[in-house]
Chain A
Amino acid sequence: AQTVTQSQPEMSVQEAETVTLSCTYDTSENNYYLFWYKQPPSRQMILVIRQEAYKQQNATENRFSVNFQKAAKSFSLKISDSQLGDTAMYFCAFMNYGGSQGNLIFGKGTKLSVKP
Chain B
Amino acid sequence: NAGVTQTPKFQVLKTGQSMTLQCAQDMNHNSMYWYRQDPGMGLRLIYYSASEGTTDKGEVPNGYNVSRLNKREFSLRLESAAPSQTSVYFCASSVSLAGAYNEQFFGPGTRLTVL
Contact = CB atoms under 8 A, between A and B. Distances in A.
Interface of A: 4, 9, 33, 42-45, 47, 50, 52, 91, 93, 98, 100-104, 106-109
Contact of B50 (A4, A47, A101): A101
Nearest to B103: A47
Interface string B26-38: 0000010101000
B104 A104 contact: yes
Contacts of B74: none
Interface of B: 31, 33, 35, 40-45, 48, 50, 56, 58, 88, 90, 92, 94, 96, 98-104, 106, 108-109, 111
B53 to A, nearest CB: 14
A102 B104 contact: yes
B37 to A, nearest CB: 8
Nearest to A52: B101
26 contacts: A42-B108, A43-B108, A45-B43, A45-B90, A47-B103, A50-B101, A91-B42, A91-B43, A98-B100, A100-B50, A100-B96, A100-B98, A101-B48, A101-B50, A101-B56, A102-B48, A103-B58, A104-B35, A104-B43, A106-B41, A106-B42, A108-B40, A108-B41, A108-B42, A109-B41, A109-B42
B89 to A, nearest CB: 11
